[in-house]
Amino acid sequence: MPSQQALVRRPGPRLAEGLVTHIDRRPVDPALALRQWETYVQVLRDHGWQTTEVAPADDCPDAVFVEDTLVMFRNVALLARPGAGPRRPEVPAARAAAEALGCSVNEIRAPGTLDGGDVLKVGDTVYVGRGGRTNAEGIRQLRATFEPLGARVVAVPVSRVLHLKSAVTALPDGTVIGYPPLVDDPALFPRFLPVPEESGAHVVLLGGGRLLMADGAPKSAELLAGLGYQPVLVDIGEFEKLEGCVTCLSVRLRELYA
């Protein structure tokens, strides 16, 4: 049976020092962030996901955003090489976790850079954001890794947000959703649905039409509920202060087979 495995990593003691690029820095409450993270992980478990904690990287303030450390396609894990140098020590523990789950492991090598948050999979199409953290060489190496497995890799520009998935994610039927002011070119996606709030563009597919979303996007949740989906809302406000969203806090492994 296909897996519902998720890698997560608890917030470390330096979380409040995390990098911010496109927004103004605001104070972060580490204790509240930990409670929000615990709720997020419990929601995954409540919806049938088995969670594995990646070993801490406490010297790395952004380590909780584990999605940036690797990208999955089928049973192959491609280890990232973050565009922000201080984040690169986050990757070795992600490698260990992927290997423990039986993944085949590849890696991005210098001078390539790739953040997992720049990669959006829609079926066998893999959209890759070319922006501040992911460069052309990183995209070339991702293409060389995943195209032989049947992926169609499409590079798209990202200039208004930190990562591609800060701007767009996708619904179970493959429709890409986004907040238009933050999307460089919606026409690059065959089906695009605008949502009325920035955080409404971020969904994690829990299965069965359930969408994990931040609770700060009630109008978007109402829109998606009207399309027959079931929003499952969580408060991740402390992570949003660091340009995080619901996708950033886990790596979902859907195509491992027992």
Give pLDDT tens digits along the chain (258 positions): 567 999 999 999 999 999 998 888 999 999 999 999 999 999 999 999 999 999 999 999 999 999 999 999 999 999 999 999 999 999 999 999 999 999 999 999 999 999 999 999 999 999 999 988 999 999 999 999 999 999 999 999 999 999 999 999 999 999 999 999 999 999 999 999 999 999 999 999 999 999 999 999 999 999 999 999 999 999 999 999 999 999 999 999 988 754
- Of the residues 60, 103, 245, 248, only one is catalytic, namely 248
Determine the pLDDT at residue 64: 98
Phi, psi of 29 (to 5 degrees): -95, 105
- The reply to whether 47 belongs to the active site is no
Written as six digits, the tokens of 238 are: 């402390």
- The reply to whether 103 belongs to the active site is no
- Of the residues 60, 163, 202, 245, only one is catalytic, namely 163
DSSP string for residues in the chain: -B--EEEE----TTGGG---SSS------HHHHHHHHHHHHHHHHHTT-EEEEPPP-TT-TTTT-GGGGEEEETTEEEE-B-SSGGGGGGHHHHHHHHHHTT-EEEE--TT--B-GGGEEEETTEEEEEESSS--HHHHHHHHHHHGGGT-EEEEEE--SSSSHHHHEEE-TTS-EEE-GGG-S-GGGSSSEEE-SSGGGG--EEEETTEEEEETT-HHHHHHHHHTT-EEEEE--HHHHTTT--TTTT-EEE---B-
Determine the pLDDT at residue 255: 81
C-alpha to C-alpha distance for 24 and 147, rounded to whole angstroms: 38
